[in-house]
Amino acid sequence: MTKESRLFKTLGALTLSPIFSGMAIAFPPHFICSEKSTMEKAVIVKSSSAAAVSPSPSVPPVILTQDELKKIAAYKAIEYVESGMVLGLGTGSTAWFAVNRIGELLQQGKLKNIIGIPTSKKTEEQAISLGIPLSDLNEHPVLDLAIDGADEVDPHLNLVKGRGGSLLREKMVEGACRKFVVIVDESKLVDHLGGSGLAVPVEIVPFCWKFTADRLQSLFEYASCVAKLRTCGENGKPFVTDNANYIVDLYFKKDIGDLKVASDSILRLAGVIEHGMFLDMATTVIVAGKLGVTVKNK
């Protein structure tokens, strides 16, 4: 039996359990939690007895690599997809597996009449290579479903996205979906957005970028904000988005407070295109952890 077949046999009991993790973990067939309305209360769908959470003697524990976890996450996320849907195709390493799987299912005839709306040029190129029919928001202003990852998730299912640089197109596409399913590992959960200490991206016009960056930093001086222009590796040149814009990354040492006030303040600055806070957009967040998978719904 191959490692992949063992892996899926091990996880076969999970009926709805996309998994995303930043590290390799032993993942026997654990219980699944389902959570609605609040982040704090979860209902165990399967028995939480020791017998239920212990791997079967016939199925040895499998140590999963990061890519294997991403692949399982993507394959489970595809369970939301039905023939005839218009889909938002996310961008990033986990979304890559989802797009690839959609292409496979179309080729096998298991999915039909799918139309994809890509959230980046990279995803567009991948989808074309797989034969996935594509369109845009002009032709399909309302989408059935989008599946994508996130960089941070707060207790109210607000997100930080865009550390990969595709925040504007992601927000346009995912904001037009009837259902937006987000897949993360438990390390992405934060008490408040910006709480990880990592970047909250803002897409800006290149013209006088330092002027805009300084204004963004001053705007959040109360949160000890540091604004940095995103650059490309060793050459130090500015990172350029698919829309020919720059990105300023904001780093916060303190809670920025009311997110809607912060959002409005950022968007009022001339030179700002969009920010990476996705507020009240996710309808479902699937969180993978060492003990199982929790589904959190709005």
Catalytic positions are 170
Write phi, then psi, for 20 (nearest 5 degrees): -135, 130
> In whole angstroms, what is the distance from residue 288 CA to residue 185 CA?
5
Token pair listed for 244 = 């020919």
94 contacts 20 by C-beta, under 8 angstroms: yes
DSSP 106-141: HHTTSS-S-EEEESSHHHHHHHHHTT--B--TTT-S
Which stretch of DSSP H or E encloses residue 179? Answer: strand 177-185
DSSP letter at 191 equals: S
> In whole angstroms, what is the distance from residue 108 CA to residue 60 CA?
31
Count how many Cα atoms sit within 13 Å of the Cα of residue 163 in the half-sphere of its side chain: 16
> In whole angstroms, what is the distance from residue 223 CA to residue 259 CA?
13
